[in-house]
Amino acid sequence: MKVNAAMHRGVEWCAPDTPIMEIARLFREKDIGAIPIGENDRLVGMLTDRDIVCRGLAEGRDVASMTAGDVMTRDIIYCWEDDDIEDAVHLMEEHRVRRVPVLNSDKRMTGMLSMGDISHAANPELCREFLGAVAAHH
């Protein structure tokens, strides 16, 4: 199975100058914990609720003045929409990430692949392996 058959489409994204408070509200409203960060129609980072806590709040930053660009992860792990799901899962295991942006051949984001997507699409053995790898203590 290819990633594009398992991923979810219609992913929202924010700009690097988006205030953290706005992103936190988006996380709550959409019941999500991560959002891609884009600039000039290009993916430039990923922001998770953990990034906000560990790179922002834990370092004593003022949440009212923080933006996505201040705390986002810049080294983006991603996969291609025509990758085999097994290859994408192994990439996610290697980097211990629970979701990755999915890019097309034009390097445009077309969706996200998450643990939930994998649990619905992959075989049970691959799902167990993946869960064990990303849930393990880092």
Q: How many Å is the Cα radius of gyration of the chain?
A: 15
User: Structure pTM?
Assistant: 0.82
* Lowest-pLDDT range of 43-47, 55-59, 83-87, 121-125: 121-125
Q: Domain locations in the chain?
A: 3-135
pLDDT digits (tens, 9 = 90+) for 10-40: 888 899 999 999 999 999 999 888 999 999 8
3-135, what's its fold? CBS-domain (3.10.580)
What is the Cα–Cα distance from 71 to 99, expressed in whole angstroms?
18
Q: Would you give the distance in Å from CA 91 to the centre of its chain?
A: 13
Task: Report residue 105's pLDDT band, with 50, 70 and 90 as the boundaries.
Answer: very high
Burial of 76-87, coded b for 16+ CB within 10 Å and e otherwise, reads bebbbbebebee
Residue 138 has pLDDT above 70, yes or no: no
